[in-house]
Structure 1
Amino acid sequence: MSTSYDVIVLGSGPGGYVAAIRCAQLGLKTAIVERENLGGICLNWGCIPTKALLRSGEVLHYMQNAKDYGLKVAGEIEADLEAVVKRSRGIAKQLNQGVTHLMKKNKITVHLGEGTLTGPTALTVKGEKGEEKLSAKHVIVATGARARDLPFAPADGERIWTYRKAMTPTEMPEKLLVIGSGAIGIEFASFYNDMGADVTVVEMLDRVVPVEDHEVSAFLEKSLTKQGMTIMTGAGVEDLKAARSGVKAKIKDKSGKVAEHDFTHAIVAIGIQPNTENIGLEKLADMDRGFIQIDPYGRTKSKGLWAIGDCTPGPWLAHKASHEGVTAAEAIAQELGNKDVHPHALDRNNIPGCTYCHPQVASVGMTEAAAKEAGYDLKVGNFPFIGNGKAIALGEAEGFIKTVFDAKTGELLGAHMVGAEVTELIQGYTVGKQLETTEAELMQTVFPHPTLSEMMHESVLGAYGQALHI
């Protein structure tokens, strides 16, 4: 059977399914091809289910520290790992069903199976219906990425885990090694630490969450160490061997000394690998380390072939993929004659990043170091959580908010936060950057009291020597 569409989207993650919905909204006959679960990795095995796990760990942490809030908890407090995982999987299933509903609502045809490009605007799908030949005026590749393995110790699902197994453990690790301290590694380290595991984090670079501002990294490492984690920066795992009883790791520390350590389990979180092999891209797109090279709207070098999300250059974030999906959909509609859409090129400097460990980390724009390296004269404000009434009332008085401005123009160059609920606060600065806000507008903005958001105002004031509560 041969079927023709205006747009076919290959992959249904947060980039793919959003792109399909926007195409359908714009009146385009749209299909989506998915080999596994609608919603992709993020919804089924990434962003959402991990936040469910982290929430359970957070609640357990509060229960264990109830006395700090004047409360007494009767009986022993313990985690039911099976129930925690079941809740997480239930939430993923609910959202998967939600995406299925959205496909039907928007009249998007779903083809389940492995999709392979046979040209820029044609592909075959091998699935339950056999082999289907599909064609379209435009094709969007949104195949995402997967966890990278250690070359000398591939994940076995028993003792050496990637994120997928770490989300559905059948037993609680007693002594856990986490290799890599990016968002995925630190989030799992935080969850398992809250759940009672003895956690060691090994990071090759000189600080944890190395893409963040150096002050945020330093604060987070201090906080995680205080919570009982062992943090090894400037270190590397030289060898990793799994046995029935556990894992043996040879770790070189920052001094160059190599020592063998025993763990019950290990999580490998050393980055991602794009899902771009064996799907027919070899002659259709320019590639760099497996990532599809695109213009700011998602176009590849082949007319009619587009790409978005984690199979393209970073940052590799779900919200970046979704935004790219909308941009590509609108650019396609414009090419097909729609004069009412006006797509805007993606500004990667305005994409916020969030890490949901305890304490949370969030940022947007340039770090202080990057801004200095770029040649800016800076005004930098830094306001601590301990100076905020709401933070003290919440019992969450650890953390800070940092803002970085161009001293000459007042342009907001970046914002960096660590502390309670900062992943909800960062969007205020992201909107500000998108609107090209200067310090003057932020200073004149009225922030509600008592809220954590007041610290954003104080940080801006602090950059110009006007902070009120410190």
Structure 2
Amino acid sequence: MSNAYDVIIIGSGPGGYIAAIRAAQLGMKVAVVEREHLAGICSNWGCIPTKALLRSADVMHSASHAKDYGLTLEGSIKPDIKAIVARSRGIAHRMNNGVGFLFKKNKVDIIWGEAKLTKPGEVVVGKISKPIVQPQGPVPKNTLGEGTYTAKHIIVATGARPRALPGIEPDGKLIWTYFEAMKPEEMPKSLLVMGSGAIGIEFASFYRTMGVDVTVVEIMKQVMPVEDAEISALAKKQFERQGMKILLEAKVAKVEKGADSVTATIELKDGKTQAITADRMISAVGVQANIEGIGLEAVGVKTDRGFIAIDGYGKTNVPGIYAIGDVAGPPLLAHKAEHEAVICIEKIAGLPNVHPMDKAKIPGCTYCNPQVASVGLTEAKAKEEGRDVRVGRFPFVANGKAIALGEDQGLVKTIFDKKTGELLGAHMVGAEVTELIQGFVVAMNLETTEEDLMHTIFPHPTISETMKESVLDAYGRALNA
């Protein structure tokens, strides 16, 4: 088998495997180099297995409130953490196998090993020195191994890993990253979560639903700092009703480890300190790109603030070398990586009408309880940009389907340009909003105005009706509130 390819992709996560499949569809000879597990962090240790855990939490929550729906369940409802983790890991394994099947179907070669760029057009694959995480499942059959491979186009899609703060480095036992938090051997009685971004809040929500005493420490003024302040405040209220403790504008200054617990010294916004002891602690203070040890310096690829610098099509400053996904910068989202992959490959293939990604139209979702989803500008950001805006709001408590489901705590908020009617942003908190947000994403991509949305017929009864009502409210025309 020849070691020459049209495209070699380093990494098989959401960006890497989608790039490989799209390139194969366009008739290119493609290989993917992987050192850990097919499908990347998203399917093995991130997006998918965490949703499996959160699904268990949803069922636990519903069962715990059975009497609210006129049902009687005999006996107590207890989580079986070993079974919950086993289900989650089984789903991750299924996703891993699925990507292997897609590679076989599309005739994508898998090169198992550690890749390094040596010069433009060349990748040397060596023995795996120290994988960050043990491979998920066996190495796929019919894979290639160590050697020198060439390609006209090389795409770096090496992803990212948890960031550690000096002095508070995760140890895998008492201080966890999302890797350990996803597969605990036993359920802790208490948990301290440092950071309230999507990762921190999702795990905080999971463990709290399972009965764990959870405290979240966030250095910013609001939970989920990237979200609209009003949505964040409503989510925080719901978290606290569930028994979660949240400290804002607070910093974990020091952590002392005991035999089977940690004691964190928290610096509060008023200058005082507070000591919190918990069985375990999750460090969820962001991630950093995997840019080390892959030969970027040797070939002269530029980086910017810890990420590979690219243009709107994934091109680096070195001809023939590209980067996509988390390694290429924020937002660090799987769906961003996938779309970036298609753009990059189609540009390489010379397809017409390939447009650079508009990052303002990338939705963000957090799968906690309640869920949070958003796209576009927050109200504060729109005003900061000098926009004259109309803001619409519609609460779930006025929506028939939400009431019938027993999920009447939520809000949809829409932001329009007052002069043009352009939809600038949409922000949601409540049941299943991660499934609803795509409606506003489609609207923004089609440059839909408020009038188009007002004339759209939404099915009844659905929670999606809150979306239209929010639009109507922005123009003083809400019908059900």
TM-score normalized with structure 2 length: 0.95
2:139 matched to which residue of 1? none
Question: Is this contact kept in 1: 2:227–2:378, CA < 8 A?
Answer: yes
1:198 matched to which residue of 2? 213
Query: 1:94-243, aligned counterparts within 5 Å?
Result: 94-127=94-127, 131-243=146-258
Deviations 1:395-433 (A, max 9, x none): 000010000000000000000000000000000000000
Letter in 2 for 1:199: V
What is the aligned residue count? 465
1:75 matched to which residue of 2? 75
Q: Distance in 2 between matches of 1:94 and 1:360?
A: 25
Gaps of 5+ in 2: 129-143
Letter in 2 for 1:286: K
Give the C-alpha shift of residue 258 in structure 1: 1.1
Q: Distance in 1 between matches of 2:408 and 2:120?
A: 54
Q: In structure 1, which of residues 451, 455, 464 is the aligned counterpart of residue 462 of structure 2?
A: 451
Question: Is this contact kept in 2: 1:153–1:241, CA < 8 A?
Answer: no
Query: 1:305-454, aligned counterparts within 5 Å?
Result: 305-334=321-350, 340-454=351-465
Letter in 2 for 1:317: L
Q: Distance in 1 between matches of 2:42 and 2:97?
A: 14
Question: Is this contact kept in 1: 2:390–2:418, CA < 8 A?
Answer: yes
1:337 matched to which residue of 2? none
Query: 1:238-317, aligned counterparts within 5 Å?
Result: 238-282=253-297, 283-317=299-333
Give the C-alpha shift of residue 260 in structure 1: 1.7
2:135 matched to which residue of 1? none
Moved over 6 A (4+): none
Question: Is this contact kept in 1: 2:112–2:146, CA < 8 A?
Answer: no
Describe the SS at the equivalent of 1:206.
coil
Question: Is this contact kept in 2: 1:185–1:269, CA < 8 A?
Answer: yes
Describe the SS at the equivalent of 1:15.
helix
Q: Distance in 2 between matches of 1:456 and 1:333?
A: 39
Give the C-alpha shift of residue 243 in structure 1: 2.4
Alpha-carbon RMSD across the aligned residues, in angstroms, is: 1.1
Question: Is this contact kept in 2: 1:330–1:342, CA < 8 A?
Answer: no
Letter in 2 for 1:377: D
Letter in 1 for 2:324: I
Q: Distance in 1 between matches of 2:401 and 2:119?
A: 57
Q: Distance in 1 between matches of 2:396 and 2:319?
A: 51
Letter in 1 for 2:434: T
Question: Is this contact kept in 2: 1:126–1:132, CA < 8 A?
Answer: yes
Letter in 2 for 1:118: T
Gaps of 5+ in 1: 335-339
Question: Is this contact kept in 2: 1:17–1:39, CA < 8 A?
Answer: yes
Question: Is this contact kept in 2: 1:207–1:218, CA < 8 A?
Answer: yes
Give the C-alpha shift of residue 341 in structure 1: 4.4
Q: Distance in 2 between matches of 1:322 and 1:204?
A: 31
Q: Distance in 2 between matches of 1:301 and 1:2?
A: 28
Letter in 2 for 1:296: G
Give the C-alpha shift of residue 2 in structure 1: 6.8
Q: Distance in 1 between matches of 2:169 and 2:114?
A: 24
Q: Distance in 2 between matches of 1:148 and 1:243?
A: 23
Letter in 2 for 1:138: H
Q: Distance in 2 between matches of 1:252 and 1:238?
A: 6
TM-score normalized with structure 1 length: 0.98
1:467 paired to 2:472? no
Deviations 1:239-297 (A, max 9, x none): 01222220010001121111222110000000011000111112432211220010011
1:53 paired to 2:69? no
Question: Is this contact kept in 1: 2:112–2:145, CA < 8 A?
Answer: no
Deviations 1:280-327 (A, max 9, x none): 112432211220010011000000101000001211000000000000
Question: Is this contact kept in 2: 1:412–1:438, CA < 8 A?
Answer: yes
Give the C-alpha shift of residue 121 in structure 1: 2.0
Q: Distance in 1 between matches of 2:111 and 2:295?
A: 18
